[in-house]
Amino acid sequence: MSPLLAAAAPRPRTPRTLVAHVEDRPGVLARVVTLFRRRGYNIVSLTVARTHLAGISRLTVVVDADDDTARRLEANLYKLIDVVAVDDVTASPAVIHELALVKVRASPRERTDVIELGKVFGARVVDVGHQTLTVELTATRDAVDRLIAALEPHGIVDLVRTGAVAMARGDAPPASADPNPYAHHQPHPDGVDDPDGAADDLD
């Protein structure tokens, strides 16, 4: 392939996992989602919840992107004033799990088969109905996909997945942070930024 054609060829997109620490204020999630929408990023999953640090929430987003796109996305997230720190943990040693609840048709005679099947994947039964079982699994996305595929022949009645959450393995703090990256961080007062235009000037 000529260098010109090689340069024009689309770069491979793979799921990238980004972890952002953001100020726990109204409108922050809307700003982040607006950034993704305006830049055309395809969100695979998105989770957000408070951390052990007052005023700080942790946002984990999985997005289909090539290396260059992931770097631009990380830089654009930093331009949002509510974002304190961002880590791309895709290639780092990290625990990346999601939780799934799957309700399956299972008569009393079929329950043992479903329970044993769930055990193969490390799933546990969290609810028993007259004709259904609900199993829970916390694992990698691939493992959750395999469990769902294995349960489909029994008949899935309902299904919910949380999306991925991620944390670095071992003793190291997040790559972008000091041991306490927020020690000197002062939250922005309400009204400093423009919620509707926060991402307008992002490259």
Q: Which fold has domain 95-161?
A: Alpha-Beta Plaits (3.30.70)
Model confidence pTM above 0.85: no
Q: Return d(Cα 139, Cα 11) in angstroms, integer.
A: 29
Task: Domain 3-91: give its CATH architecture.
Answer: 2-Layer Sandwich (3.30)
Q: Indicate the helix (H) or strand (E) that contains 3.
A: helix 3-8
Beta strands in the chain (DSSP E): 14-23, 42-50, 56-65, 83-88, 94-105, 124-128, 132-139, 156-161, 165-168
Q: Return d(Cα 155, Cα 132) in angstroms, integer.
A: 10
Confidence of residue 11 (pLDDT cuts 50, 70, 90): low
- Who wins on pLDDT, 136 or 202? 136
Q: Which of 155, 173, 167 is nearest to 113 (CA)?
A: 155
Contact 18, 77 (CB under 8 A): yes
| Interval 52-87: pLDDT, tens | 889 999 999 999 888 888 888 888 898 888 899 999
Q: Which of 57, 61, 47 is nearest to 18 (CA)?
A: 61
| Interval 129-157: pLDDT, tens | 999 999 999 999 999 999 999 999 999 99
Instruction: Please determine, for residue 3, whether its predicted confidence score (pLDDT) is greater than 80.
Output: no
Ranges of each domain in the chain:
3-91, 95-161
Same fold, 3-91 and 95-161: yes
Q: Indicate the helix (H) or strand (E) that contains 117.
A: helix 111-121
pLDDT computed for residue 62 by the predictor: 93
